[in-house]
Amino acid sequence: MPVMSNIRLIIADDSRLFREGLRQICEQAGYEVAEIGTGQNLMESACRIKPDVILMDAVQNNVRIISDLAGNLPKTKIILLTSSFQDEAVFEAIKAGAYGCLPRNICARELTERIYAAYSEEPWIFPDIADKMIKEFSRSSLRVDLTKNAERLTHEEMEVLGMIADGLGKKTAADRIRKSEEAVTEILNGVIRKLRANLDIFE
């Protein structure tokens, strides 16, 4: 991965120690970094700095902030950092406009690669949250929306989507379509990208 010194990054987290660690990692990768701590106005700072990427906590009270950031800074990619992909706040934040979600214990190399991917507008979503999103998309209240989007999904994507919606894991889905779990993850990511493109599905 090339060093991209022109990537502007804001790290927003309550923990000063955690922020400083992230800052060191990101500055070594060539990113221009600013920190925002508790009590500071993230929206004000973001509008002034106009960052390419924001790394921030995936907590419930950040959902409105994420929605406001996405509305005011549509080109800024918001990446959530979470301790648990089972946290409902994670999915709500994705719906509000976050670009992706990463575990707080992610390794340094993958973190900088994910930041670069977001900056480059390469769609991605961490595998651990893919299943949760697919299941949410497949709720009965969204069946009509899925039908409207059916022509945009391939037969294989619809097949895997159905299996995940029925509660089957990626391993079982992989066995049934005779592909690897990694291939199933890529299929799920493709479904998510297509469905997220239609914002009506979140209403």
Report residue 201 CA to chain centroid gap: 17
3-state secondary structure of 21: helix
Residue 1 lies in a domain: no
In this prediction, residues 164-184 reach a mean pLDDT of 84
pLDDT of residue 60: 53
Question: Do 16 and 46 lie in a common domain?
Answer: yes
Question: Do 22 and 61 lie in a common domain?
Answer: yes
Q: What share of the chain is helix, strand, coil (3-state, %, to 5)?
A: 60, 10, 30
Question: Do 111 and 141 lie in a common domain?
Answer: no
95, 124, 153 - which closes a domain: 124
Kindly report, residue by residue over 97-126, the tens digit of the pLDDT. 888 888 888 999 999 998 998 898 776 666
Strands (E), the chain: 8-12, 32-36, 53-57, 77-82, 100-103
Question: What is the total count of domains within the chain?
Answer: 2
Question: Do 114 and 62 lie in a common domain?
Answer: yes
Question: Do 118 and 137 lie in a common domain?
Answer: no
Residue 2 lies in a domain: no
Strands (E), 14-172: 32-36, 53-57, 77-82, 100-103
